[in-house]
Structure 1
Amino acid sequence: MQIRIQGLSKSFGQNQVIKPLDMVIESSRLTTLLGPSGCGKTTLLRMIAGLERPDQGQIFFDDVCVFSEEKGINLPPEKRGLGFVFQDFALWPHMTIFENVAFGLRATKNTTRLEERVHKALASVQLEKMADRYPHQLSGGQQQRVSFARAIVIEPACILFDEPLSALDAILREQMRVELRALIDRLQITAIFVTHDQTEAMSISDKIAVMSQGLVQQYDSPENIYQAPVNQTVANFVGTSNWIDDHHLFRPEQAQLVGQANDQHFQAKVISSEFLGQNYLVHLEYQGQEWSVYSPIRLNHDQVIDLYLAPQHITQV
């Protein structure tokens, strides 16, 4: 399902949370809304879901208009055919895993082949053998998988994820990122994922909308957002940016300690070195700016080093 947004806006009192926005979310792809708290990403997700009413604009699911202020159309959430996965797992503690997953089907009286569909959904998240257990008998990662199964059992055209991994510890969060991405690929379903975690966004997304102050600053592939940020807001929020001046930057992995012909040459002073296992992350001072680069060896505090950058590795914004 393709989601098309035209001229969408939303204010709370005098605060315009979403400024007029046009956007197309591609079918069978995972699109992430990325940005800091208060940037409008969750409000945008809630408007797509029908949980928040926009002030102006239109929302189309394929060719079907689900919201239009001008035409007086506002399809309720339960009729939009969407699956939801939230930060808190929101599982019923007194129900078995089977009944938790079946809840949406029973609530909408969509009970044809219910047992088959629930077991298929549980199998898709590798929990088919835990159908008779209760939420408190599962780990955090398993509970999150139950919420995934509950979202897909209704066979939605799109699943909305609102920071679903933020309640998990770091190791489990990384594991669940892999599983979530594999699930989306397997189902070939449209997904919209909200997060403030840039690593999370870069690792799972087909496209990312970087949001700030109610605007989409850049909407592109993870690679393009990292390698060719359109402005300072995007460059500073996604990845580590080493600023040469107000309009030129490079990324830590692009600097070399040994130069080639035509490389630009810089000298910088070492602030500190952090051992990362395979290499060191070195913090430098260059003309009042703090830079970060990688080195195969530890560099000493106050040591002055030579850095080299190929011209194609210097990004202008």
Structure 2
Amino acid sequence: MSPSEAQVTLAIDAMGGDNGPEAVLDGLVAAIEKSPTGVQYVLVGDERVLSPLVDQHAVLSKDLVRIHHASQVIGMDEKPVASLKSKKDSSIVRALELVREEEADAMLSCGNTGSLMAGGTIKLRTLEGIDRPALGTIWPGSQRYFVLLDAGANPESKPIHIVHNAVLGLNYARIVLGINQPKLGLLSIGTEESKGNELIQESHHLLKQTRSLLNYQGLIEGFQMFENEVDVVVCDGFVGNVVLKACESLCKMIGTFLDEELRRNALRKTGALLSKGAFKGLKQRINPEHLGGAPLLGLRKPVVKAHGSSNKHQIEGAIRITLDVVRKDMIGHILTDAREANELLQPVQLAVGSNP
């Protein structure tokens, strides 16, 4: 039986996120109504809270959904390592353990990103050939969506980690975005090969050695990301996180300015009402609900992080992404590409006498 035909068991951290278990269950109901077969769901969290909520939905039958009790919850602002040590019976930890013990094929959470990343690395470990996991994010471009990583998992990276990020990101683009031959670019301050710091220079050199495998297009600048010159943008976690938060802040500021201007007089308010459909379409293009989850790339088992403030539609989208990652065997494809990339780089590493 192929992975696409096999029964999938998905563990869901039902307690994580800003909107509580109600939003998680609403998203699960929507997912089951759209695709009622082939999946069993394990809701991980406080049974006293979850059981009454499950009983409210006829579609959440016992043959599709079961509850795995976890008495603790890791808050969104808690420190990752400390929270994992002090809350060993948390929904995040218990869900990860279900995946580790192969009682579930994958895990989804809206909870604390740092705790999920640290817990996933400790409990599941990284894939062979991948030194560190990375956080990939999907961004809107002028023509289609693209992937940027690392978005903050590893602020300090070596050139080999940038190559591994490329392997992870390219498979993410293929599986989640459906791009058959995604193009790769390395984010820098200019397209000239002389531009960039030592990390950029050395990473660029390694990526050129893997051009045939990774479809590397070269260095790109920030503005080129949104013009879809490439489908995957790689960088270290420090740069990626700065770019992510700066763009998020800019979008919020523009939204605030637009709202203020539209409320200045009655005529503008009328125009805003007439443009409601356009604003809704714009919001969906910038923040697509069907792409509501981001896999924590590089772990040995699939773990998907949904936004902490996810609504039911975003959670439904995150469930779909998680199932795609399992059924399309993204882990297997990453392993194959990582092995080939590392083999291509062996002569380079031997020439410099060390691991880049």
Same fold (TM over 0.5): no
Structure whose residues are more often strand by fraction = 1
- By percentage of residues, which structure has more helix? 2
- Length-normalised TM-score, structure 1: 0.27
Instruction: Choose between structure 1 and 2 for higher RCO, CA contacts under 8 A separated by at least 6 residues.
Output: 2
Higher gyration radius (CA): 1
